[in-house]
Structure 1
Amino acid sequence: MICLEWWSYEIVVLLSGHLPNARLETSVLSICLTVDILHYYIPYSFGVAASTRVSNELGAGNPEAAKMALLAVSALGAMEVIIASTILFCSRSILGYAFGKDKELVNYVKEMTPLLCLSIFADTIQTILSGVARGSGWQDIGAYINLGSYYLVGIPMAIVLGFVCHLNGKGLWSGLIIGIVIQCILLTLVTCSTNWQKQARKARERMFKEELIDEQ
């Protein structure tokens, strides 16, 4: 699941090398990727916590506690991403100076920051929901969602917006945002349609099956 997601970001950075003024475009998209990665580990830790907690509660036969863990980590993620996005947006005029003193670079980073904030917001949602998916044993579903969101929608849209619509780096990053939004929608639909009682029964059945195999 994670490989499919991060490879798409790397592909977009590689594609930026074919844009006009490739040096500037690649530099700015690499900066966006760096900032995104720096923030990513915060919601990723929430996702890991949600994965562990949800899987434990389902295995213990407590579906309501699993739902409560999902709501708690979602609330924490919402508060964190609002704070992070607000700080990032307010510092957009000086953010570029952390990576260089070139005025053109600094101005371009300033223009890209609103898109970066949007991608961070959507990425936080999908990271937490992906953690819940792993904890619920839906890794196969999550992988298919990531494959479709990024490689059937996100990257093609990035190519169209970046090269056909001549939006350059903004278009490439906007394509990624579209992919993330599609991923969030699909993961949300899967999560909202989950029968937690049924998932708890399945988790218990897997545990008993593994215990029987170990005894044999």
Structure 2
Amino acid sequence: MISVMFVGHLGELSLAGASMASSLATVTGFSLLLGMASALDTLCGQAFGARQYHLLGIYKQRAMLLLTAVSVTLAVVWFYTGENLLLFGQDADIAAEAGAFARWMIPALFAYGPLQCHVRFLQTQNIVVPVMMAAAGATAACYLVVCRVLVFGLGMGSKGAVLGNAVSYWINVVVLAVYVRVSPD
């Protein structure tokens, strides 16, 4: 949503394309990955409750692999967003803008799956407040700065806004992965 707000300052066409692409990405990609990652709530919860801690990592790694494979397919769909919107009768200018925005969203797609897997992995172990809240807060603060620099400072426009989103997801993934790796728990 923040990226769309930044893009709103660039003009109506940029805003229309960003809104269209963000809506489609949420429905066709992020919601799907979120739903698939939700299986870890059950699997990791059962493993944690049964004190089979070795299964937690196995489940997380398998889910990350599966979500990455699904993301490859989704990336192909997102790559052709502009062309698909034209087939459904969307205005050519808006379709082109949405297509460009969706293409720049692909790196965020590949971060979103692992991010959700790490979140579920930590949630099932009741590791929520210190790590995930701190990671989310740091990521949000970085995102605002990165987005502003990319959109206005470097003049990337709507591409910068969506790239800033990807950068923030990847920062969040790295922070959580480092915590999982170095945590004594």
> How high is the TM-score relative to the length of structure 1?
0.76
Query: Structure 1 residue 168: deviation in Å?
Result: 1.3
What residue ranges of structure 1 are gaps of 5+ in the alignment? 1-9, 199-216
1:15: which partner in 2? 6
Aligned partner letter, 1:158: C
- Counterparts of 1:130 and 1:160, CA distance in 2: 28
Identity of aligned residues (%): 14
Superposed structure 1 runs of 4+ greater than 6 Å apart: none
In the TM superposition, 1:64-143 aligns within 5 A as: 64-89=54-79, 91-97=80-86, 101-140=90-129, 141-143=131-133
From 20, 27, 31, the equivalent of 1:41 is 31
User: Of the two, which has the highest radius of gyration?
Assistant: 1
Tell me, yes or no, if the aligned pair for 1:161 and 1:171 is still in contact at 8 Å.
yes
Query: Structure 1 residue 72: deviation in Å?
Result: 2.0
CA change 1:194–1:48 in 2 (3 A) is: farther
CA RMSD of aligned residues (A): 1.9
How many aligned positions are there? 183
Tell me, yes or no, if the aligned pair for 2:85 and 2:95 is still in contact at 8 Å.
yes
From 148, 159, 169, the equivalent of 1:180 is 169
Query: Structure 1 residue 99: deviation in Å?
Result: 7.1
Is 1:59 the counterpart of 2:49 in the alignment? yes
What residue ranges of structure 2 are gaps of 5+ in the alignment? none
Tell me, yes or no, if the aligned pair for 2:18 and 2:97 is still in contact at 8 Å.
no
Tell me, yes or no, if the aligned pair for 1:53 and 1:135 is still in contact at 8 Å.
no
- Counterparts of 1:138 and 1:99, CA distance in 2: 45
